[in-house]
Amino acid sequence: MQSTKRVLAGIHWKEGPMFAPNQISPPVLIVALSLLSTSAPTTTLAQLPDAFNSFYVPEAGPVAAPLEGNAAIRFFRSCPNNDGGASLPQSVRIKVYLRDAFNKPIPLVTNGEICILYNGGTAAQGFFGPGADEVIANSTWNVAPLCPDLRCLEADAPTDANGTTYVTFTGPDPAAPGVGMRSAGRKWGHYDSDTPVFARGVQITGRLTPASAAGSYSLLIRSFDSVGGLGAAFNLGEVVTISDLNAVAFHVGEVAPPATPNYWRDFDNSGAIEVTDFNMVWFHLNHDCDTPLDP
């Protein structure tokens, strides 16, 4: 059974007194809180996403006929300038499915309650938390040019009647959830092998497709800025440099299995480092938070 603490944590309280003076007597208040606690399984679980039943799926392309799974993942790559082209093409996104402990959809979960979470930087740079800790997205160490402080890629829209919504990486089109529209505030560098997704404070896992097993996919977004920038040094964290280009050039022709450095250089997810990967980095060489687009 859910504890009272968890029940109360799932309720959005407004500031100010809970009741007007003399509106409710202390004995009635005690009874009300008692009922709130004993009704936890039906009240709270209907509002709180279940970590097993809720999930997200990688998508790209048209919302009406999306690419899913590996067909979508090959487009999950970014430039620190978020300038388009080979960076976050095809409206790359995750589709989020929120369901409660009874596997029923949870509608009307607001945009800001659903989040791909970043810490903003590394522990060496003074950033801590439950978010991705090797994605660089801060103005503390990246001041010339000044980069935005990014902590959350929030959902495009509230969940619908089916408990679904999207998080489109480049930025959402307010008129069309799941369709990408560049946001000048969504700039980051480097990558992370653990990029968590939260909904109402609950971390949910990925599935390669809606029919895949729970936990069969983890969100990974490659970056053309793959080298350096993780230490406490200024202006190295969100820029594509010659070091990033060489990191690809020196490995062309090699395979790129998961959980290896080459995986992050395989920008089209083909399984090998190819000239196409080199060309993508070459095109974005010297791109940073104000080049080529400012902001």
What is the model's pLDDT at position 273? 98
Residues 219-248 pLDDT 10s: 999 999 999 999 999 999 999 999 999 999
Between 163 and 8, name the one with better pLDDT.
Answer: 163
Q: Phi-psi category of 126—alpha, beta or left, where left has phi over 0 and alpha has psi -120 to 50?
A: left
Residue 75, amino acid: F
The yes-or-no verdict on residue 7 having pLDDT over 50 is no
Could you tell me where the DSSP H helices lie in the chain? 4-9, 26-38, 40-43, 70-73, 242-249, 275-283
What is the model's pLDDT at position 269? 98
pTM of the model: 0.85
Residues 101-131 pLDDT 10s: 999 999 999 999 999 999 999 999 999 999 9
The yes-or-no verdict on residue 46 having pLDDT over 90 is no
What is the model's pLDDT at position 45? 61
The yes-or-no verdict on residue 279 having pLDDT over 80 is yes
The yes-or-no verdict on residue 30 having pLDDT over 70 is no
- Segment 137-150 mean pLDDT: 98
Task: List all residues 6 or more positions away from 6 whose beta carbon is below 8 Å from its beta carbon.
Answer: 40, 44, 48
The yes-or-no verdict on residue 195 having pLDDT over 50 is yes
pLDDT bin (cut points 50, 70, 90) of residue 76 is: very high
What is the model's pLDDT at position 20? 36
The H-or-E segment that residue 70 falls in is helix 70-73
The three-class DSSP label of residue 152 is strand
- Segment 173-202 mean pLDDT: 98
Between 257 and 29, name the one with better pLDDT.
Answer: 257
The yes-or-no verdict on residue 6 having pLDDT over 50 is no
- Segment 258-287 mean pLDDT: 98
pLDDT bin (cut points 50, 70, 90) of residue 146 is: very high
Residues 12-26 pLDDT 10s: 323 333 333 333 333
Paired strand residues for 271: none
What is the model's pLDDT at position 277? 98
The three-class DSSP label of residue 284 is coil
- Segment 197-222 mean pLDDT: 98
What is the model's pLDDT at position 44? 58
